[in-house]
Chain A
Amino acid sequence: MRTKFLSLCRWFIHRLPEVLLVCFLLSLLPLVVFVAEEAVAQATAAWKVPGEYFQSVVDDPVPALAVVACVLGTAVLLFVLWRNWGLIWAVARKMIVEGLHRKVVLVLLVFFVLLVLSLPFLLKTEGSVKSQVQIVLLYSLIVAMVLLSLVAIFVSAASICSEIERKHVQITDTKPLRRWQFLLGKWFGTLVMCAAVLFVMAGATYALVFYLARPPDYSRMTAREAEKARQEYEGLFEEILCARRSAKSLLPPGVDEAVEESLRVLKARGDLPDSRRERKRLREDLWRAHVLLALTAPPGGVVYWKIRGLKPGGDGALSVRFKGYVNTPGGRLLGRWVVWVKRPMKLESGETQERLRRVFRVVSPEGGWHADTRWAIAVPEQCVGEDGTLYLTYENMNPDESAGFDPELLVEVLQEDKTFFPNYYRSLVVVLCHVALLAALGLMAGSVFSFPVACLVVVFFFVIGLMGPWLAHFIELSRFADYTQFEEYIWMGLHGSLKAFLSVMPHFGKYNPLGDLTDGKLIPWSAVFRAGAVMLYVKGGAALLIGMYFYARRELARVIV
């Protein structure tokens, strides 16, 4: 009996790579289903009003380009995998066996369990189920993502380097295995291994979250407690375990015209600066000032927003988020939000014309809304117009202070849309794209450099990926310095090359879906396709191709330091 069990165990371990592959393929099944669903939805939309649909594509071609890139990339990848499957799987399989033998997978899972289990001791929540769920979700997924990112980039780099250093390649390279097949096999092996681990971790997180979010036991509560618990329980599914469509307000209209008008006035007065550079700077300053002006309501004044991209016809509630500020620090916003709806109106001349009419208002509570704090108000979903637009105004009722709104943050409207699971799944797919890019970068570093250098390069990628947004911010800040013409040229050169460099580098924050996920926001397919196109196919593909180019030209029997 025991020997039978042991031999079964051995057989299982021997077959584990195949098991992982099957798990990987199964975990991609929902992707296929969801993408097909989305494709049908898009096709229906295009079929109904083709003109409008194509106009929207022309207006914003990025999502369509991302889809094209993803489709092409997937087709090429599948074709290459299919034609070279035997060899690529042989290498990938060995990579997975290596990962299992070196206990990479085990250590990963142990780390994950330790970190997630230690969570209750590390973090103090205010005790509500809502914040608990939010923290568990965010924290465990971030742990999973960071662990997998590290593993993907280091394991892939180390695997190539150690194969060269331990001279394994001196045998494998004499077999009929092309060097690009070898690299692609390593990449695929890393991907399958990481995907399997990711889906185990994500499954555990999902189970944990839904364990925490189980319905409360009302029988032991007083009526008041039960009501509170019920509200909290329902709030959980309305605010976190859901997928709400997010729409941000457009910049206020008329800013460009106002800028032109100001420039005209200055020109008429003869106050326009001579140099083109200074004129450009002046225009930018004016633009910023006018945006601020348009988003500021003096006492008794009004700020106006138009929010597009909502789904019409719902009967729930929208959540409108805003953050305002007043003249004095620590002050409060006193005013009211008014929602407008376009309604046809008969004019005196007998024509009908669409006019905006007030339909709903929210007045600030006693004492007002704290400035510099995020607030949310509920607005009925019926207020969304047929074209998916919501019109909002803020009327400042504070007689002493102006109320302004941050032009960067704007006003955001959240609308209940899809369920949680597809959203969760989409965010995992984005994380996986991320892992695939890091594996490709690791392979690139490993095939160009030898071990210590490859590690340094990999760390460099990692740091740039983490600090990229800050660096970009600092570069942008530097443009207001008072440069001479010569310094200006140097700045322009540096600025351009640094920006180009940062756009090529991995960018962890840009496509990170976890913040939105735990905020209960919808991660749209367009974001998934964009992440796939940029990280998996463009950057990842480029990294792999660069790695293959250098690896194919490398003398493998020579130690390069």
Chain B
Amino acid sequence: MPATDSKVLEVIELTKVFRDFWGRESVKAVNGLNLDVKRGEVFGLLGPNGSGKTTVVRIILGLLFPTRGAVRVFGRGPRNVDVKKRVGYMPEESHLYSYLNAEETLDFFGRLFRLRAGERRRRTSALIDMVGLKRARKRPLGQYSKGMARRIGLAQALINDPDLLILDEPTTGLDPIGAREMKDLILTLRDRGKTIFLCSHLLGDVEEICDRICILYGGRRRALGPVEELLAAQDMTQIRAPRLDQSALQQIADVVRRATGRDDAIEVSTPTRPLEDYFLGVVEEARRERISTPGAEAGTAAAGFLLGPEPEGEELLEELVQAGQEQDAAPEPVAVEAASAIPVAQDDELIEALVRRAADTEVEPQTVEEPGAAIAPETVVRKDVIDELVDEAHEAGEADEDEVS
């Protein structure tokens, strides 16, 4: 593996300014962004709407040109054809040709990679099976639902077995099964040494699959680091236990009170299952009852060629199949009142909260760049840095004043 490959993607001091007709600066979409994505990791780019995520992705793809700074993909410029051979991109909305059907679409993109006819046919049918569009493969894409279009968008991104997969909002528009499959696929590909760069709003998904994340706000980086470290609530402790009776709980509460000296420091509740698990269980049951659907079906495991010639490919496939079976054996769904544990509607608030926290905790941008260097919340909080950051957030003009201050 060449040395340049350890860093699959480098974003160096990237600034993008959109100008109006007269050349005046209208929007500074990205402002001095620095990022590194290493080989074999799943990297998430988060941020509220209009924070510059999609602009960054488009610059990485060579669809927009940086105003200042540079982007290096596999050590080269993003518009290099050799780079593009190794990149797969799934856009937020599938901008595909509505008059072609799934097979023709994949055939067309296969041709653009100069794949031979036999190889094109093989990959096309494998990918269509994988994304669960076997029955709809002769229908023109114009008739597809949004989720089906997303699936074919994923298939076209994988036609060249890319080393770097760039996904813009990978799970939006997909049904929960599709989202689950997408997440499984991302993890499978990561295990094969592929690099995945994604932007998303859906924090549950990001939390689940990303190794490292970067949070953008107003075109600036607000946080960067491994997910667990960023999310660890350093001043809290969680205890999980089997169901306890009232007296046992009282004893624990006493212990905590003694240790912390506070009355309100403990909170007791019954853990709820995430809605995702519950939903998957219901659908799985319906599928077992063989209720047919005209839309997208469940996809199969990753297409064979994506698992590649690596020796562990077979084993991986088996593992995946096993994982699927384990999932099948999920417990019977219980009563419907199992509450939503992932309030999706609150995602934006969550991002805001994260942004705010990141703004509080970020100390020196340089220190954060070190791979693996997490943002330690305990680090001495410098009042002046916070003020500066808050001011900048004001200047970025994207934020509502109340939220920032």
Among B61, B95, B97, the residue within 8 A (CB) of A98 is B97
Q: Indicate if B318 sits at the interface (CB-CB under 8 A).
A: no
**A173, B112: Cβ atoms closer than 8 Å:** no
Q: Which residue of A lies closest to B82 (CB)?
A: A176
A168 interface neighbour in B62, B89, B97, B104, Cβ under 8 Å: B97
For A93, list chain B residues within 8 Å (CB): 108, 111
- Output the nearest chain A residue to B80 by Cβ-Cβ distance: A176
Chain A, residues 75-99, CB within 8 Å of chain B (1/0): the string is 0000000000011011001100110
Assuming the contacts A97-B104, A98-B99, asked whether A555 and B111 have C-beta atoms less than 8 A apart, the reply is no
Tell me whether A172 and B112 are in contact (CB under 8 A): yes
Q: Tell me if A175 and B113 are in contact (CB < 8 A).
A: yes
**Closest chain A residue, CB of each to CB of B98:** A166
Contact (A173, B99) CB under 8 Å given A87-B114, A178-B81 = no
**In the complex, which residues of chain A have a beta carbon less than 8 angstroms from the beta carbon of B89?**
171, 174
- For B95, list chain A residues within 8 Å (CB): 166-168, 170-171
**How far does the Cβ of B197 sit from chain A's closest Cβ, in whole Å?**
13
Contact of A176 among B58, B84, B100 (CB under 8 A): B84
A101 located at the interface, meaning its Cβ lies under 8 Å from any Cβ of chain B in the complex: yes
- Interface range on chain B (Cβ under 8 Å from partner): 20 to 34
**How distant is B45 from chain A, measured CB to nearest CB, in Å?**
16
Bound Cα distance from A94 to B107, whole angstroms: 10
CB-defined A-B contacts under 8 Å, sample of 14: A86-B114, A94-B108, A97-B100, A168-B96, A170-B61, A171-B109, A173-B62, A174-B89, A175-B113, A176-B114, A177-B84, A555-B64, A557-B58, A557-B63
Q: A97-B99, A173-B63, A175-B112 are in contact. Are A167 and B91 (CB under 8 A)?
A: yes
Is B43 positioned at the interface, with any CB of A under 8 Å from its CB?
no
How long is the Cα–Cα vector from A340 to B95 in the complex, in angstroms? Answer: 75
Interface residue? B156 (CB, 8 A): yes
Partner of A177, one of B18, B104, B112: B112
A169 to B87 CA separation, bound complex (whole angstroms): 15
The 4 closest A-B pairs by CB, nearest first: A90-B111, A557-B63, A167-B95, A101-B99
B65: CB under 8 A from chain A?
Answer: yes
**Interface membership of chain A positions 522-560, coded 1 if the CB is closer than 8 angstroms to chain B and 0 otherwise:** 000000000000000000000000000000000111100
How many A-B pairs with Cβ below 8 Å?
A: 76
Scan residues 88-129 of chain A and give those whose CB is less than 8 A from a CB of chain B.
Answer: 89-90, 93-94, 97-98, 101-102
Q: State A9–B62 Cα separation when bound (angstroms).
A: 41
Judge whether A174 and B63 touch: CB under 8 Å: yes
CA distance A101 to B105 in the complex (A): 14
Closest to A94 in B: B108
CB of B205 closer than 8 Å to a CB of A: no
Q: Does B347 contact A (CB under 8 A)?
A: no
Say whether A557 contacts B64, CB under 8 Å. yes
Interface residues of A in 1-48 (CB under 8 A from B): 14
Q: Give the shortest distance, in Å, between A155 (CB) and chain B (any CB).
A: 14
Tell me whether A555 and B63 are in contact (CB under 8 A). Answer: yes
With a cutoff of 8 Å between Cβ atoms, the chain A residues found around residue B112 in the complex are: 87, 90, 172, 175-177
Which residues from B are CB-within-8-Å of A172? 112
The reply to whether B84 and A175 contact each other, CB–CB distance below 8 Å, is yes
* Min distance, Cβ B141 to any Cβ of chain A, angstroms: 11
Residue of A with least CB distance to B109: A175
CA distance A379 to B100 in the complex (A): 64
Please name all residues of chain B whose beta carbon is closer than 8 Å to the beta carbon of A94 when the two chains form the complex.
Answer: 97, 100, 108
Name B44-98 residues within 8 Å CB distance of A.
58, 61-65, 81-82, 84-85, 87, 89, 91, 93, 95-97
- Residues on A with C-beta less than 8 A from B97 are 94, 98, 168
Chain B residue numbers with a CB within 8 Å of A89 are 111
How far, in angstroms, from A87 to B108 measured CA to CA in the complex? 10
In chain A, what residue has the closest Cβ to B168? Answer: A170
B111 touches which one: A87, A97, A173 (CB < 8 A)? A87
In the complex, which residue of chain B has the Cβ closest to the Cβ of A561?
A: B21
Could you say which of B62, B63, B84, B95 has the most chain A C-beta atoms within 10 Å of its C-beta?
B63
Q: With A and B bound together, what is the CA distance between A134 and B62 in angstroms?
A: 56
CA distance A558 to B97 in the complex (A): 19
Chain B residue at minimum C-beta to C-beta distance from A177: B112
Quote the shortest CB–CB distance from B304 to chain A (angstroms): 22
Of all chain B residues, the one with the shortest Cβ separation from A166 is: B95
Enumerate chain B residues within 8 angstroms of A170, measured Cβ to Cβ: 58, 61, 63, 91, 95
The listed residue with most B CB atoms (<10 A of its CB), out of A14, A102, A555, is A555
Interchain nearest-CB distance for B99 vs A (Å)? 4
Which of A90, A166, A168 gathers most chain B CB within 10 Å?
A90
Minimal beta-carbon separation of A70 from chain B (angstroms): 31
In angstroms, how far is the closest chain B Cβ from the Cβ of A163?
9
| Chain B nearest Cβ from A303, distance in angstroms | 65
Q: Give A175 to B84 CA distance when docked, in angstroms.
A: 6
**Distance, CA A280 to CA B311, complexed state (A):** 88
Contact of B84 among A98, A174, A556, A558 (CB under 8 A): A174
Is the CB–CB distance between A176 and B64 below 8 Å? no
Give, as a whole number of angstroms, the nearest-CB distance from B355 to chain A.
Answer: 25
CB distance from B67 to the nearest CB of A (A): 11
- How far apart are B362's CB and chain A's nearest CB, in angstroms? 29
Determine the chain A residues whose CB is within 8 A of the CB of B85 once the complex forms.
Answer: 176
Within 8 A of A (CB), among B282-339: none
CB nearest to A87 among chain B residues: B112
Please report which residues of chain A, range 175-191, place their CB below 8 angstroms from some CB of chain B when the two chains form the complex.
Answer: 175-178
